Structure 1
């Protein structure tokens, strides 16, 4: 694929995500669907990028796409249960199974298994630190910068969610 075609594909993906993000932020009725579209487009971008750029080891990118799909499946289930079926903060639920399945997929190379949301976040941070240690982010490594941005965003939303909906144990 030519560099011009790659730039066009990247621009189209960024335009899609920007448009979907605007709709997500402005129309709460369709926000869950837009969130799912953003996640699915991210997984598709990983798979297409793996095909286009043909890295020496493709399976880590496929596993990362699978992790993103499990995360989006969990969020979509949670949103549908809460927004459309009236369940108030459904916990535990199949969404939590998806979230917990996500962490080992993200951490496959370390063979680590996360057992809770906060520990999973710490694990993702450790993996990110390991990724950045051998070769710090430089101006030409856009993939690493996007992984950093995605990780920081995910952690920030996990923290915000924990503050907004603290876990209340029944007892």
Structure 2
């Protein structure tokens, strides 16, 4: 029987309009998403950054969020926190799997000139056969998708392209 992991303590920004709700800090959201993805239990402590409590200033000298408590030490900086989470909880890994890296690298290399890519992971989940559906240029090859899945993809992609008629979205 596996031992239960004690929840990590994380201080995050509270909403300025709705008390006791998560605020709009992308750095805090990044850490919470990372913990969720890695199935790491956590105890979220909301901090009103416009009225920082004394206890918070003792653990975060600069008064910034997020901060996470690892092994009795409070760690600031979302990059450091993310790397620490990756080191302490390596599964599932945050890195892009090699089989998907070529699509990502092609998109990065071509930048805004590239036709938007949706990741293979997304399509694996949609495909009944779980085969990859590859996207090349501005055509989505959907031979492994059902008609219903292809229709949904077409509608989603069409809204992304803002009904731009220059792109042929689906080829069956």
Q: TM-score, normalised by structure 2?
A: 0.29
Report which of the two has the higher share of helix. Answer: 1
Report which of the two has the higher share of strand. Answer: 2
Larger Rg: 2
